[in-house]
């Protein structure tokens, strides 16, 4: 039984990272209608900048802050320069454009930092408590409880603040929102900034808890999207739950030997199952007509 507990804890730790990414995606998607495939690449750039500041002997807090600033800056760069030009295009076009931005970021990051061995270390890595024989570092707790705090904060922000209200209005109908005088550009800019800061934090956590590899961090956008799909690209609590579920399933599959090497397909499987479940009562148009 203890071994299941160990894998559960391990899965929750990874799942909270997926959830974190998913929340960042959903916040942006709700306000701007953009599914940001560049989220992982922004997180990767943020993690690398943080590492670089550490190498330059900047104090820890300054280095950590640099991750958030980098994430915010890159997200704003796209949100203020490219996204407005695509504002009236189809969702698929908007999403594919972010994929281009992801490739540009990944290319620049690979140009600036070769693939030498690197490690991102936070002071909280050394602190921790033991649970079921497994050491849970404070960094993992920050990732887990941080994602819960961000979830609560994001829900409250969207429900209780004026900007949050504007974001929800934009999500419902961008045209009508513009007509009733909602400052679309300003609200979207706020969403890009918020999402970018979350990407920076996600990158910092991934860089420390997984590995400091820009490619790996970039592609963590996939489980993050799967988590967001679990939340129907709309619900933050469901996205959070989806992220945790993916992480736990992935970890638990380690115990099933034939499936263990294939467990990285968990995000896709879970997302597909959720999509099937969501459309279970839907009837095909032609079927209805028949």
Partner 1 sequence: MNLRLLGLGGAAALALFALQPAAGAAEPACGLDNGEKATGEPIVVGGINGNAPPGDFSGGTDAAAAYFKCVNDNGGIHGRPIEYIVENDQWNPELAAQVATKLVKDRGVVALVGNGSVVSMAVNAKLYKDENVMAMASACAISDCYENANIVSTNQGPLPSGIGALKFAIEELGTEHAACIGFNIPNNGGWACDWMGKYMESQGRKSTALLMDPAAVDLNSVYLQALAEGVDTILLMLPAGPALGILKVAEEQDGRDMFKWVSPTPLYDPTVPGALGDYWNDSLYVNIELAPFDSDGPDNRNWNAVMDAYGREDDRRDTFSQSGYVSAKFFVEALLEMDPGSIDRASVTEAIKSISGKTSDLLCGPYYVGDFDRHMPNHAGRMVVFRDGRFDVVRECYDIESSYLDPIREQERQLGLTQ
Alpha-carbon span 51 to 38, nearest angstrom = 20
By CB under 8 A, tell whether 129 contacts partner 1: no
Using CB under 8 A, pick the residue from 77, 110, 163, 168 that binds partner 1.
110
- The encoded tokens of residue 288 equal 């209805």
Residue 117 binding partner 1, by CB under 8 A: yes
Which x/- pattern over 143-182 shows residues binding partner 1 (rule: CB under 8 A)?
A: ----------------------------------------
Q: Number of residues in contact with partner 1, rule: CB under 8 A?
A: 50
Q: Write out the H or E segment, with its range, that includes residue 202.
A: helix 184-209
Stretch that binds partner 1, among 78-86, 130-138, 181-189, 237-245 (CB under 8 A): 130-138
- Site for partner 1, residues 192 to 221, rule: CB under 8 A: 206, 210-216, 218-220
**Closest by Cα among 218, 164, 187 to 79:** 187
With respect to partner 1, which residue has the nearer C-beta, 91 or 100?
100
| CB-count burial class (<10 Å; 0-12, 13-18, 19+) for 125 | middle
CA distance 204 to 210: 10
By three-state DSSP, how is residue 91 classified?
A: helix
Can residue 137 be called a binding residue for partner 1 (CB under 8 A)? Answer: yes
Using CB under 8 A, pick the residue from 1, 81, 92, 116 that binds partner 1. 116
**Of residues 23, 10, 13, 11, the one with CA closest to residue 224:** 23
Say which residue the tokens 């009733």 belong to: 180
Min CB(208)–partner 1 separation in Å: 9
Yes or no: say if 189 and 168 are a contact pair by the CB < 8 Å rule.
no
CB of residue 158 to partner 1, shortest distance in Å: 28
- For partner 1, the closer CB: 53 or 78: 53
- Nearer Cβ to partner 1 (200/223): 223
Q: Identify residues 33-92 at the interface with partner 1 (CB under 8 A).
A: 52, 55-56
Determine which residue in the list 24, 71, 203, 247 makes contact with partner 1, applying CB under 8 A. 247
Q: How far apart are CA 97 and CA 265, in angstroms?
A: 25
């Amino acid at each position: 039984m203890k071994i299941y507990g160990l894998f559960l804890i391990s899965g929750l730790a990874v799942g909270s990272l997926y959830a974190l990414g998913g929340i960042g995606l959903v916040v942006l998607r709700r306000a701007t209608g953009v599914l940001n495939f560049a989220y992982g690449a922004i997180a990767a750039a943020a993690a690398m900048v943080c590492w670089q500041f550490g190498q330059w002997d900047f104090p820890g807090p300054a280095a950590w802050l640099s991750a958030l600033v980098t994430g915010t800056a890159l997200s704003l760069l796209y949100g203020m320069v490219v996204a407005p030009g695509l504002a009236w295009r189809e969702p698929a076009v908007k999403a594919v454009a972010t994929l281009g931005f992801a490739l540009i970021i990944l290319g620049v990051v690979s140009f600036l930092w070769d693939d030498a061995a690197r490690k991102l270390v936070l002071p909280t890595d050394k602190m921790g408590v033991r649970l079921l024989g497994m050491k849970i570092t404070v960094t993992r707790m920050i990732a887990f409880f941080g994602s819960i705090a961000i979830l609560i904060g994001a829900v409250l922000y969207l429900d209780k603040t004026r900007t949050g209200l504007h974001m929800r209005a934009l999500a419902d109908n961008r045209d009508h929102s513009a007509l009733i005088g909602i400052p679309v550009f300003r609200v979207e800019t706020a969403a890009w900034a918020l999402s970018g800061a979350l990407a920076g934090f996600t990158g910092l956590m991934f860089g420390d808890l997984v590995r400091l590899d820009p490619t790996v961090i970039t592609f963590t956008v996939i489980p993050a999207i799967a988590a967001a799909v679990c939340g129907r690209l709309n619900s933050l609590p469901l996205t959070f739950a989806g992220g945790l579920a993916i992480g736990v399933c992935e970890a638990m599959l380690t115990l099933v030997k034939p499936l263990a090497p294939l467990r990285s397909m968990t995000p896709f499987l879970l997302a597909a199952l959720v999509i099937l479940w969501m459309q279970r009562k839907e009837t095909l148009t032609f079927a209805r007509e028949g």
